[in-house]
A and B are shown apart, each in its own frame.
Chain A
C-alpha cells in the first residue's frame, strides 16, 4: 500500500492535469455562450458611427443616460487599461457587487444589479473566455455627468436605495424552460436594465418591471416587453419572440434598430434555440403591464 501510494499519486496528478487541459476548451465554449446570453456585451465595443473595425470589448463607447455620458470599460486582458491585472475573484466581485478591485463603486450604468444573480459557474466561464481574448490597450474615459452622478462615493448611497443583490432562485412550481428563461432575462441578458423605467434616483422601478422606458441607453426608447396587448408584446406568440431574438425581424416584417440590433447580432442570434425559446416562455408568462411610451403632452 505504501509503495503503491506514490504511483497512485502520480496517476492522480496526471489525471488532474489531463482534465484541466480538457476543461479549458469547455470553459471557453461555455464562457462564449454566457457572453452571447449577455447580448454580446456590445456596450463594451465602440462602433464609431457605422460598424467599422473597432477592437471588440476594448470599451470606450459613450453611453448616454439621463444622468450624463458614461464610457464603457476595457474588458480585454491589457494589464494597464483592461482587466489584465485582475483575479477571477476581482471579476466576480465587480459583476455581483459592483465594486472595483481598488474598492471603489461602479456607476450602475454597468448593470451589476442584474449580473448579481448570475451563477458562479457562468461567471467563472465568462472570466475564462475574457482572459483568452487578445489584450488591447485603450485608455479609460471619465464620465461626463453632473456632479452628483460623476462621483463614485455617491454610488454608495445609490446602492443603499436601489441595490439588493440576490442569487437566482428557481421556482420549483415552474418548468425547466421557464426557470432558464427567468435566469437569462433577469441575470446575464439584463433585459430589465433598458426595458424597465427608472425611478427618480435612477433605480429600476420594480412595479413596472420590463414595461418599457423612454430613457434607454444612448437616448433610445426601449419598448414594453410585458405581454400587454395594446402597449406591450401581448400579440406576439412564443414562436414570434424566439424568431425575433434570432433574426431581429418582428411579426409585422419590420427589422430592429439601435442597440437591440447589436444585442441580437452579437448575442442572442448565437444562443441555442432552447435558450431563445426559454426567454420567450418566461417573458410571455409575465403579468401584462399597460405602459404607454408616447411622450406626455
Chain B
C-alpha cells in the first residue's frame, strides 16, 4: 500500500469520524446556545418595554411592576440556561461564566433583587424612585455583562 493510500485510510478511519462527531457535538451545543439566547432576549424585551413606558411617559406604571416581576422570574431561568459550558460558536458567553460560577450566581442574584426593588418602586408609584430603580436595574445588567459577555468587538455578530 502506498503511503498516500495509507494516509487516506488514516483520515477515513480516525479523522473523519472525529470531525463528524465534533460537528454533531457543535450542533447539539448550538441548541443550548439558542435556548439561552431566547431567555436573554426575553429579559431584553421586558427591559425595553419598561424603557418605553418611562421614556415616553406612558400611563402604565402598574405595568412596570408586572414587567419587573417577570424579570425577577427570568432571573431564576438564567442559571439553568447557562448550566452547559458552551462558549464557542455563535455565542457571546464568556468562559468566565463557568470559571467563576459563584460570581456569576451572585451577579444574577443582584439582578433579581434590583428587579424586585423596581417592582416595589412601581407599586409605590413615585416617578423619581421608579426612574432611580430602573437605572439600578440597568447597572445590574451591565455588571453581569461586563465580566461574562463578550464585548461588541468580540461579539460573533460583528466578526
> Which residues of A come within 8 Å of B, CB atoms?
50, 214, 216, 219-221, 223, 239-240, 242-243, 247-258, 261, 293-295
**Any A CB within 8 A of the CB of B101:** no
The answer, among B46, B135, B146, for a CB contact under 8 Å with A257, is: B146
The answer, among A216, A223, A239, A247, for a CB contact under 8 Å with B138, is: A247
Which of chain B's residues have a CB closer than 8 A to the CB of A219? 153
B residues contacting the other copy or chain, number (CB 8 A): 26
Q: Is the CB of A255 within 8 A of B135?
A: no
Q: Is the CB of B142 within 8 A of A261?
A: yes
Which of chain B's residues have a CB closer than 8 A to the CB of A248? 138, 142
Which 9 residue pairs across A and B have the least CB separation, nearest first? A253-B48, A253-B47, A253-B44, A243-B55, A221-B153, A255-B141, A221-B152, A255-B142, A249-B51
Query: B52 to chain A: closest CB distance in Å?
Result: 8
Q: Is the CB of B56 within 8 A of A253?
A: no
Contact bitstring B82-93, A, C-beta under 8 A = 1, else 0: 000000000000
Q: A255-B138, A255-B142, A256-B142 are in contact. Are A220 and B152 (CB under 8 A)?
A: yes
Query: What CA separation (Å) do A294 and B157 show in the bound complex?
Result: 8
Residue of B nearest to A293 (CB): B158
Query: B157 to chain A: closest CB distance in Å?
Result: 8
**Any A CB within 8 A of the CB of B125:** no
Query: A10 to chain B: closest CB distance in Å?
Result: 49
Q: Is the CB of A252 within 8 A of B48?
A: yes
Which of chain A's residues have a CB closer than 8 A to the CB of B159? 294-295
Residue of A nearest to B43 (CB): A253
Contact bitstring B135-159, A, C-beta under 8 A = 1, else 0: 1001101100110010111000011
The answer, among A50, A254, A257, for a CB contact under 8 Å with B44, is: A254
**Any A CB within 8 A of the CB of B134:** yes
Query: What CA separation (Å) do A113 and B146 show in the bound complex?
Result: 31
Query: A272 to chain B: closest CB distance in Å?
Result: 16
A-B contact number at CB 8 A? 69
Which of chain A's residues have a CB closer than 8 A to the CB of B15? none
Which of chain B's residues have a CB closer than 8 A to the CB of A242? 55
Which of chain A's residues have a CB closer than 8 A to the CB of B62? none
Considering residues B45, B47, B51, B135, which has the most beta carbons from chain A within 10 angstroms of its beta carbon? Answer: B51
Query: What CA separation (Å) do A257 and B51 show in the bound complex?
Result: 17
Main secondary structure of the interface of A (DSSP, over half): loop
Which of chain A's residues have a CB closer than 8 A to the CB of B48? 249-253
Which of chain A's residues have a CB closer than 8 A to the CB of B46? 253
**Any A CB within 8 A of the CB of B77:** no
Residue of A nearest to B134 (CB): A247
Which of chain B's residues have a CB closer than 8 A to the CB of A254? 44, 47, 141
Q: Is the CB of B145 within 8 A of A255?
A: yes
Which of chain A's residues have a CB closer than 8 A to the CB of B45? 253
Which of chain A's residues have a CB closer than 8 A to the CB of B8? none
Q: A252-B48, A253-B44 are in contact. Are A221 and B158 (CB under 8 A)?
A: yes
Query: What CA separation (Å) do A59 and B149 show in the bound complex?
Result: 28
Considering residues A220, A243, A255, A294, which has the most beta carbons from chain B within 10 angstroms of its beta carbon? Answer: A255
Q: Is the CB of B51 within 8 A of A214?
A: no
Q: Is the CB of B135 within 8 A of A247?
A: yes
Which of chain B's residues have a CB closer than 8 A to the CB of A294? 158-159
Which of chain A's residues have a CB closer than 8 A to the CB of B139? 255
Considering residues B43, B46, B145, B152, which has the most beta carbons from chain A within 10 angstroms of its beta carbon? Answer: B152
Query: A39 to chain B: closest CB distance in Å?
Result: 17
**Any A CB within 8 A of the CB of B11:** no
Q: Is the CB of B138 within 8 A of A249?
A: yes
**Any A CB within 8 A of the CB of B16:** no
Query: A196 to chain B: closest CB distance in Å?
Result: 16
Q: Is the CB of B158 within 8 A of A220?
A: no
Q: Is the CB of A243 within 8 A of B51?
A: yes
Query: What CA separation (Å) do A125 and B49 show in the bound complex?
Result: 40
Contact bitstring B50-81, A, C-beta under 8 A = 1, else 0: 11001110000000000000000000000000
